[in-house]
Amino acid sequence: MRIQTVTYLFVLAVCTLSNVHAQEEPLVQKGVLDLREYDFLSNGPVELDGEYEFYWNQMLSPALKGDSGEMIYVQVPGTWTQLRNEHPEVTRFGFATYRLIILLPEKVDELAFRIEDVFSASGYFLNGKAIDYLGFPGVNKYQTVIRYSRPLIIGTVNDQELEFLIRVSNFDNRISGIVGGLTIGKVSQMQESRQKELFRGHFLIGAFLIIGIYFLGLYLIRTEHYRLYFSLLCFLMALRVVMIVEIPLLDTLNLNGLTTARLDYLNIYFFAPFFILMIRSIFPIEFPNLVYRISMWISSVFIAIVVFTPISFFSFTFPYFFGFFLLVSMIFLYVIIMAWIRGRSHAPAYTLGLLILFFGTLNDMLNEIEVIETFYVVHYTMFVYLLVYAYIFADKSNYLQKKAQKLTEEVSQVKNHLEDLVEERTTELQSMSTELERQKLKLESTNRDLVEAMNSRNRLFAIIGHDVRGPIGYNLQALEMLIDNPDISEKERKELLKMMASSSEVTYNLLDNLLVWGRSQTGKLKATLVRVKLKDLIDESLELINIGLKEKHLKVEVYVNEQHYVEADRDQLYIVIRNLVSNAMKFTPEKGSIYISSKKYNGEVIISIRDTGIGIPDGILNKLLDSKSHVSTNGTRGEKGSGLGLKICQEIVQSNNGWMRIESSSGEGTTISFGIKASD
């Protein structure tokens, strides 16, 4: 496990850059580090980097004088496998002793050592005395107890010349030796540095947990899956900071080395599937299904290897996971670029956040597989990334809330106006009845108006009383069940929430249609013609019914030219497209297909929506667009309809100077086409 990062925030690093290079730090040369002229108070701790004496397959005794056996020099930090080219006897698995002589200035009586990433068990001796053990280094696998790191080791100094011995054994991990390096300094300095590191760690952990809990709460209120995956990523990142910074909580758990290593790898490997799930839930159309399934299977294989195999096997999977990470990153980049091209909301911000996280993760992974030697920064870049995405998701929620509020106000206005309309029509009919005897021709016209008004009113009240009241009542009952039964199973909870979402979507579409129908009845359905990009409108319509498409596993293929623009009322045209696509979804069985296309012909753009559904019998087809007939049929899952949708679509298309045509045969699907004047 990587012990910690000494990286400060970027601004702090820039401000202190001059101090870092103000004095060149001394290096270990031929096993000796001369610090006699070094001032710890002014220059701070010093890293013990350089050439150490290295004794392969030897456990040297402390303060051993004279010849200690065959000795070579090895560079620290670094793995001892780097010696294999010149010394073939040095293998990945084995044991060795590192030896270093430190010459100290006067009046130094106590020092603290910072030990980073010594794999996989080690013991530390200062002038013949054992000062600490990380696990227990043995001469074979069965004697070795693994542990990787400890924040600080404190040793007493009785002489200006110190012999520092480090016994290291590794019979399990892919990496061997002192990889992360060592740092020495005054105890007060090292403890102060540790406290600052813990402060940064606690701050990041608290931030990740707060964001994660917030979006988990939003998910429980409104089941949008990207919120759930986002919150789980926050929790994973909080755990990552705990392991990197080595929060004291880990010591209280008393985890052994194998468990710690397994937890470390699982923490990294679980990021891939949750990122894949989140990006796919945000951009489902742009994310290829086959690529999604393959990526999830590969992620599951990596996780299973860590869970069920020993460290001597799963530690070697990291370089392969790094290649998989690069591949998944390219997939994410493709998906977001496609979303950007198609005008998806917040696509630039998604791209920025992903690039920040990518470069931070790339830095840490290259460091992990020993390609580069830098600081670990992924938890900082992840924090920035989560802030960017939190802003995006909060902005989306705010937009949806405002849209719902606006719709509620419009419904209230139409409801009040409909009551006035019914009262006005009733008064007109009463005045006309007094002239029945003298105006026979007007009587027939008045009777037709009366029948039409009564039918419209009865239909409206029937729709409000059944199609609107029913789903709302169902949602109320479902919410009461969820509140009164906190111990309800997760499966039943998910089924209730799914049906509530579907019911709410139906009610939303119905209310929108009622608004348009109300305007048409009052003669206020007027089109404000503007230049509209057809492709953007279709993409926006598909986003609204995305849940229904997923539930029925429908395949939607869009063949709409990016250069097709029409001259129409944008809001009214949006209602037409949404109604027609909803009808196609409603009457198409599971795993069916919907095709949306456009072509330009004779100064018009012709939009066609074709499905592979159950089709329309001839007897019903002739009545669908007849203003005097009312036809309502159930969908393939029993979905309810109001019978208003196609009539409203026809009225809107006509008010926009267009035409509409339906072609269908029972059992062979349906194609609905309409033409609107093209805009250059």
Strand spans (E) along 32-93: 32-34, 46-47, 50-56, 72-76
Of residues 604 and 435, more confidently modeled? 604
| Spans of all domains in the chain | 24-185, 192-393, 435-677
Q: Is the pTM of this model over 0.75?
A: no
The predicted pLDDT at position 16 comes to: 34
Whether residue 198 contacts residue 61, with contact meaning beta carbons closer than 8 Å, is answered with no
Strand order in the sheet with 555-559: 555-559, 593-601, 604-611, 670-677, 659-664
Whether residue 60 contacts residue 68, with contact meaning beta carbons closer than 8 Å, is answered with yes
CA angle 326, 328, 329 (to 5 degrees): 60
Amino acid identity, position 524: K
Of residues 13 and 229, more confidently modeled? 229
Whether residue 157 contacts residue 151, with contact meaning beta carbons closer than 8 Å, is answered with no
Give me the chain's average pLDDT, please. 78
Intra-chain end-to-end CA distance of the chain, in Å: 62
Whether residue 168 contacts residue 137, with contact meaning beta carbons closer than 8 Å, is answered with yes
Map 465-490 to HEC letters: HHHHHHHHHHHHHHHHHHHHCCCCCH
Q: Which of 444-448, 492-496, 641-645, 652-656 has the highest mean pLDDT?
A: 652-656
Backbone dihedral angles phi then psi of residue 59, each to the nearest 5 degrees: -105, 90
Per-residue pLDDT reduced to its tens digit, 575-620: 888 888 888 888 888 888 999 999 998 889 999 999 988 888 777 7
Question: How confident is residue 485, by pLDDT bands cut at 50, 70 and 90?
Answer: confident
Quickly list H helices, 22-123.
40-43
Of 168, 185, 166, 170, whose CA–CA distance to 124 is shortest? 166
Q: Is 94 left (phi over 0), alpha (psi -120 to 50) or beta?
A: left
Q: Long-range CB contacts (< 8 A, 24+ apart) of 440-444?
A: none
Per-residue pLDDT reduced to its tens digit, 161-183: 889 999 999 998 888 999 888 89
- Rounded to whole angstroms, the maximal C-alpha distance in the chain is 136
Give the Cα separation of 672 and 660 in Å (integer). 7
Distances in whole angstroms, Cα of residue 326 to Cα of each of 272, 298, 331:
11, 13, 9
Range in 308-312, 416-420, 458-462, 508-512 with the lowest mean pLDDT: 458-462
The predicted pLDDT at position 211 comes to: 83
Per-residue pLDDT reduced to its tens digit, 276-305: 898 888 888 888 889 899 999 999 999 999
Question: How confident is residue 67, by pLDDT bands cut at 50, 70 and 90?
Answer: very low
The predicted pLDDT at position 219 comes to: 86
Domain 24-185 and domain 435-677 have a common topology: no
Q: Residue 541: pLDDT above 70? A: yes
Of residues 484 and 644, more confidently modeled? 484
Superfamily holding 24-185:
Galactose-binding domain-like (2.60.120.260)
Averaged over 530-534, what is the pLDDT? 91
Averaged over 262-271, what is the pLDDT? 88
Strand order in the sheet with 46-47: 46-47, 182-185, 110-115, 150-156
Query: Which residues touch 38 (CB under 8 Å, ≥6 apart)?
Result: 26, 46, 105
Of 367, 362, 369, whose CA–CA distance to 315 is shortest? 369
Give the Cα separation of 404 and 400 in Å (integer). 6
């299904």: which residue's tokens? 289
Q: Long-range CB contacts (< 8 A, 24+ apart) of 329-335?
A: 329/358, 329/362, 331/287, 331/291, 331/295, 332/275, 332/279, 335/279, 335/283, 335/286, 335/287
Q: What is the DSSP string of 142-191?
A: TT-B----EEEEEEE--SSEEEEEEEEEESS-SS-EE-S-EEEE-HHHHH
The predicted pLDDT at position 4 comes to: 31
Range in 46-60, 277-291, 392-406 with the lowest mean pLDDT: 392-406
Distances in whole angstroms, Cα of residue 346 to Cα of each of 32, 222, 282, 371, 563:
57, 20, 11, 35, 22
CATH of domain 435-677: 3.30.565.10
Per-residue pLDDT reduced to its tens digit, 600-610: 988 899 999 99
